[in-house]
Amino acid sequence: MRITPQRTELRELATSTRSTPPASSPARAAASVGEAGRIAPTMQALSAMPDVDMDKVLALREALARGEIGFDADKLAGLIARYHGAAR
C-alpha cells in the first residue's frame, strides 16, 4: 500500500502568491495584514512538516501484522461515507 498526499490546501495557501481582494476599509485592511502576520509562522511550520508520519504508519502496520489491533473494513467504510456526507 502506498500513501500519497491528497490534501495540499495548506501547503498551497502557505506558498500562494495570489493577491487578496481589496478590503472595504483601511481598518479592515490593517486587520487582514495583522492576521496574516500571526498566521504566517504557523503556515510555514505546517508546510515544513511531512504529509505522512511514516514512523507511525510503520508502527501501525506492524501492530496489525502482529494482531495487536483489529481492522474493521465496514466501520472504516461507514466513517468515510459519513465524513464525505453520504446520506443514510
Contact 64, 71 (CB under 8 A): yes
pTM over 0.85: no
- Quote the CA–CA distance of 39 and 46 in Å, as a whole number: 11
pLDDT by residue for the chain (88 residues), tens digit each?
555 555 545 455 545 544 455 556 666 665 667 788 889 898 898 888 888 899 999 999 999 999 999 999 999 999 999 999 876 5
Gap between the Cα atoms of 9 and 40, Å rounded = 15
Cβ atoms of 11 and 46 closer than 8 Å: yes
